[in-house]
């Protein structure tokens, strides 16, 4: 949620930063108008309520001094009744304006951090690092991961379409075991790095999706259960972000670092025609998520360590990758700054996203009303939230099937995974 006070007091600078995203359709003026109307009604209502309370005292005093039949008593009561009638009009009007204001405010994305590079789209993202050139495969005839996976009998897309529809996969034998091994390996690594593992519900309510920023903007990207206010989880970020919704945490308890394995479900409504084959863009996929609740003054440092925790998985698997900083025009709805990790995919001769590590500032904590209080100090503050994939499991599997593919059609397993699977190759 945007900071309405910031918008109200600095509308020009707010709009300037917002426009760096390249979306010039935000209803900022409408929000400012509704905000002014709501505050005017609030002032009027407060003044009327104060006068109503005063009249109540005056009536008692007048009755005591002049009797209940004194004309002044009736005059005060008439004024009190007029105030009550006015308040009965103002209160519902204020509720309507508040609802309109909140609905519009929820559509406004987060403001980019000053450290986020300015750019129009993904072509202007900034590469900041490459790792693992020595692990680039020398095999010149690498097959796409779906093809080698089907040859090995560990992936099946055709039967998945029979069970569900396209963009689902069934993992068989060693494929299922590899997925399970990757999940356990990632959780072991993240818990060793200090994250507390949780296993959240895989169905979430609308309030949780709204708090994380998925609703209302991304409703079409999510699967909803029609008979309940429940949605299939699009990412564990949604569930963990609401773990402390409407709570006030003690400052001494921060930072809180969580990780979770969950399946994730997305319609990929705007992605038809892209990655129609393979494990890159499915309606159902597995992911190990990292999430942090931190103090505002530490969020930049926490963002860097979040990135390092995601990188550590790729480095342990000896998978070549690069790190890019997303520009303002490619930034996610809730983020102020994002690093993307892109793993090398030999069959495509390009790097593909495998993790996105974002600092969301206080945007999600405002939407979810998560605050913290320092001992001995009055008031509370909104904390900062950060999230990152550690990693996307299917994409990691795809990268292994391609980068470790051998000329004889087998696939070596990264040494770090071999103890989990009890074998050296597929």
Token code pair at residue 17: 């930063």
Contact by Cβ (8 Å): 131, 344: no
Q: Classify residue 133 by its DSSP letter.
A: G
The helix or strand, by DSSP H or E, that contains position 177, with its residue range, turns out to be: helix 174-192
Could you tell me the end-to-end alpha-carbon distance of the chain, in angstroms, rounded to an integer?
48
Token code pair at residue 259: 């990780």
Within 1-70, where are the H helices?
4-9, 11-19, 28-66
Question: Residue 393, by phi and psi: left (phi above 0), alpha (psi -120 to 50) or beta?
Answer: alpha
CA distances, 159 to each of 144, 145, 153, 176, 355 (Å): 19, 17, 12, 15, 28
Q: Which residue in 280, 286, 308, 319 sits closest to 417, CA to CA?
A: 319
Q: Which residue in 10, 8, 21, 38 sits closest to 103, CA to CA?
A: 38
Within 375-416, where are the H helices?
393-403
Give the position of tokens 């409407």.
246
Radius of gyration of the chain from Cα atoms? 28
Q: Which residue in 51, 53, 304 sits closest to 312, CA to CA?
A: 304
Residues with catalytic roles: 266, 281, 353, 356, 395
Is residue 85 helix, strand or coil? helix
Q: How far apart are CA 57 and CA 70, in angstroms?
A: 15
Q: How far apart are CA 371 and CA 250, in angstroms?
A: 9
């Amino acid at each position: 949620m945007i900071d309405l006070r910031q918008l109200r007091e600095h509308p020009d600078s707010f709009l300037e930063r917002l426009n760096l995203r390249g979306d010039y359709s935000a209803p900022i003026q409408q929000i400012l108008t509704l905000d002014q109307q709501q505050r005017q009604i609030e002032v009027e209502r407060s003044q009327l309520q104060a006068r109503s309370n005063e009249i109540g005292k005056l009536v008692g005093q007048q009755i005591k001094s002049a009797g209940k039949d004194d004309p002044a008593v009736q005059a005060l009561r008439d004024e009190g009744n007029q105030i009550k009638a006015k308040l009965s009009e103002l209160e519902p009007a204020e509720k309507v304006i508040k609802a309109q204001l909140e609905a519009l405010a929820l559509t406004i994305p987060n403001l980019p951090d000053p450290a986020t590079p300015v750019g129009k789209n993904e072509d202007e993202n900034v590469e900041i690092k490459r790792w693992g050139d020595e692990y680039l495969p020398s095999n010149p005839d690498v097959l796409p991961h779906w093809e080698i996976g089907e040859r090995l009998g560990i992936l099946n897309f055709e039967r998945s379409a029979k069970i569900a529809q396209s963009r689902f996969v069934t993992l068989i034998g060693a494929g299922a075991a590899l997925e399970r091994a990757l999940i356990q390996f990632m959780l072991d690594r993240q818990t060793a790095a200090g994250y507390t593992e949780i296993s959240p519900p895989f169905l979430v309510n609308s309030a949780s999706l709204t708090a994380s920023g998925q609703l209302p903007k991304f409703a079409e990207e999510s699967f909803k259960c029609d008979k309940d206010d429940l949605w299939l989880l699009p990412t564990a970020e949604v569930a963990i972000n609401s773990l402390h919704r409407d709570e006030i945490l003690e400052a001494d308890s921060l930072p809180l670092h969580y990780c979770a394995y969950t399946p994730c479900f997305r319609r990929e409504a705007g992605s038809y025609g892209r990655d129609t084959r393979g494990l890159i863009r499915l309606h159902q996929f597995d992911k190990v998520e990292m999430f942090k609740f931190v103090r505002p003054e530490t969020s930049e440092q926490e963002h860097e360590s979040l990135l390092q925790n995601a990188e550590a998985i790729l480095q342990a698997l000896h998978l070549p990758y690069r790190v890019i900083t997303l520009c303002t025009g490619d930034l996610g709805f809730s983020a102020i700054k994002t690093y993307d990790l892109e793993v090398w995919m030999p069959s495509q001769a390009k790097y593909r996203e495998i993790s996105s590590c974002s600092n969301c500032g206080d945007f999600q904590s405002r939407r979810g009303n998560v605050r913290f209080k320092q001992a001995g100090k009055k008031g509370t503050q909104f904390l900062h939230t950060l999230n990152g994939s550690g990693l996307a499991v299917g994409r990691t599997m795809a990268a292994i099937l391609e980068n470790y593919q051998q000329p004889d059609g087998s696939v070596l397993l990264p040494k770090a995974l071999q103890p989990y699977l009890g074998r050296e190759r597929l």
